[in-house]
Amino acid sequence: MSAATIPASDLVRRRSEVPRTAFHLLAKPTGAICNLDCSYCFFLSKERLYPESSFRMSDELLDAYLTQYLESQWGPEITVAWQGGEPTIMGLDFFRRAVAMAEAKKRPGTRLAHTLQTNGTLLDEAWCDFLREHRFLVGLSLDGPRALHDACRVDKGGHPTFDKVMRALRLLQAHEVEINVLTTVHAANADHPLEVYRFLRDDARARYMQLIPIVERDNDTGFQEGTELTSRSVGADQYGRFLTAIFDEWVRRDVGTVFVQQFDVALASWAGEPHGLCVHSETCGAALALEHNGDLYSCDHFVEPAHRLGNIRDRHMSVLASSERQRDFGRAKRDSLPRACRECEYRFACHGGCPKDRVARASDGEPGLNHLCAGYLRFFRHIDPTMRRMVQLLRSGDAPARVMFERAGRNDPCPCRSGKKHKHCHGR
């Protein structure tokens, strides 16, 4: 029985019984179906989980999803997030219905924040008008300048996609849609950190960036099994060097004007404040994935039979999200840390990284070490003095951007971008 066919009196009764477990959900209306064939994409293989499926979320399931999800959320702002595969394959009319339905179902006084993660290749003027009207935050995948982007991000015919993505970016910007650029860091672009960052900052004019490491298991199932990685995966030290090079550029001239998720999360960790990024949280399990047919999974990176919690047609999603099984999944991130992580001086900022990447062994042979450990360690050690200073500035009521002026040499360009040397501007 769908939410649309449940008697109103029963719906009210159920709402009062919904467990108050905080969780976030990524809804995948097309499942793993995508119009691109990115070589490192971990999700394309999930198509094999549903061999007879049409891979389209029905309106009945859409109704059930939004009813249950909005019942489950208790804050003044609720994020409704769409991902894929490629969600825009569903077409604009589906999203018009989804937004109208969500707005009709939300509680009085509640504000909805709509988000969409997309490769951008299907966006046009009508899409951008809609995204602007409903204040969507759009996560757009862009891996750097043309050669680095097209190294992995190709369509089903193997053709490059850079021009289509840049067209989408310019359309979104022209319509003043809020954008986060999502950049995966892999073997093809990881040795070019400044080329990637400066392109995103100067050419793409991105102000919000995420630098997402590709750590891809080499197996036939597409699940998080085995310890061998593909050659497309970024190396541990390689990722550390990538982050530190960009950090040095950022802290020299872009603090307060360019927002890099990894740097914002690090500052929150050094300040002892919550940041919400599960990768570097002590536990996880609060970010679930909903497949097109109603199957609910523990995590977007664990859409596989062992981590299927159930189907929202059969049980309310909040019951599944608050189940002991899901709690165990989240606690395992902390409880399975090897001793090397438990005793690490940067545990507070790292917490072992994402469990999907824990394929290495510590120096004493204990399993469960994150593949990226050496890179994280390099990065955290490098930024430690600057982070401590930025926290001091925050706690004194000053802006963290002050570090740019403190680090500038007398003959360096002034960080205020006046065009003058620092000694003739703010360095006087």
DSSP code at position 201: I
The number of beta carbons lying within 10 Å of the beta carbon of residue 333 is 21
**Closest by alpha carbon to 168, among 147, 182, 186?**
182
Q: CB atoms < 10 A from the CB of 192, how many?
A: 17
Structure tokens at 154: 């190709």
CB of 86 within 8 A of CB of 35?
Answer: yes
Q: CA–CA separation, 360 vs 161, rounded Å?
A: 34
**Helices and strands (H and E) in the chain: how many:** 15, 12
Clarify whether 300 is annotated catalytic: yes
Residue owning tokens 């050496």: 374
| Nearest to 280, CA basis, from 326, 333, 349, 340 | 349
Q: 209-221: string of b/e by CB count within 10 Å (b at 16+)? A: bbbbbbbbbeeee
Measuring CA to CA, how many Å separate 191 from each of 242, 243, 294, 314? 7, 11, 40, 48
C-alpha to C-alpha distance for 64 and 53, rounded to whole angstroms: 19
- Residue 227: CB atoms within 10 A of its CB come to 13
Give residue 99's identity as a one-letter amino acid code: V
- What are phi and psi for residue 388, nearest 5 degrees? -60, -40
**Active-site option among 300, 357, 398, 412:** 300
Sole residue written with tokens 């000694």 = 423
The tokens for 225 are 């099994």
The set of catalytic residues is 300
